[in-house]
Amino acid sequence: DTAVSQTPKYLVTQMGNDKSIKCEQNLGHDTMYWYKQDSKKFLKIMFSYNNKELIINETVPNRFSPKSPDKAHLNLHINSLELGDSAVYFCASSLADGTGRFEAFFGQGTRLTVV
Amino acid sequence: AQTVTQSQPEMSVQEAETVTLSCTYDTSESNYYLFWYKQPPSRQMILVIRQEAYKQQNATENRFSVNFQKAAKSFSLKISDSQLGDTAMYFCAFMKNSGYALNFGKGTSLLVTP
């Protein structure tokens, strides 16, 4: 009964490949996020979806395409993987009413290694 | 744009002692939320404590408390009676864009020693 679950936890792939990371939340939240944590542990927002609508796209390359089939899922597809894409990707979810008062719950992260 | 600065990349404290982690932020908004998240070696992001900017009273959660100075845009975390399980990265975060993104500092790596 994990609240926010991501699959896979680890992903090793070659440059140029296309891969997807799946995220599901069972908290009834209406907003989901993708964050990227680089090798220096810096966490940065990539995308935010509210009720399946894209709210934030933080200058992420077009090779990254989020897909939200419903409010409980937000998947991340990455085309033509590059070495610089190696990082830990976190999915998160929360309620959002425009005030910022709700806590975000994070998944356990997916460590992506591009070789 | 909002920025969050954590000026202490690494800190160390002995078990049972008290340690304070610093965080400053920059924003033009008058109402916002601030958070401290903990990331142990397991990688899981765990909310430690949060503060609503319009509340003057500092938030506390058991051994964790904050010193929120709105005018100075400062939001430090105090951990009392440090335990070995407190060893982790600690991230200060600012909720921006009306709740649709957390803006994180670069983190402070805290080591609690016996």
- Which of B96, B100, B104 has the CB atom closest to A50's CB atom? B100
Q: Is the pLDDT of residue B1 over 70?
A: no
Residue A71 identity (one-letter amino acid):
K
Residue B24 identity (one-letter amino acid):
T
pLDDT at A112: 98
Strands B10-14 and B108-113: parallel
Spatial distance between the Cα atoms of A34 and A43, rounded to a whole number of angstroms: 10
Q: Is the pLDDT of residue A45 over 70?
A: yes
pLDDT at B29: 84
Quick: pLDDT tens for B56-113: 899 999 999 999 999 999 999 999 999 999 999 999 999 865 778 899 999 999 999 9
Cα angle value B57/A30/A23 (rounded, 5°)? 110
CB < 8 Å from B in window 91-110 of A: 92, 94, 96-104, 106, 108-109
pLDDT at B97: 55
Q: Which of B109, B72, B14 is nearest to A40 (CA)?
A: B109
Structure tokens of A13?
């792939």
Q: At A114, which helix (H) or strand (E)?
A: strand A110-114
Residues of A in contact with B101 (CB under 8 A): 33, 45, 48, 56, 58
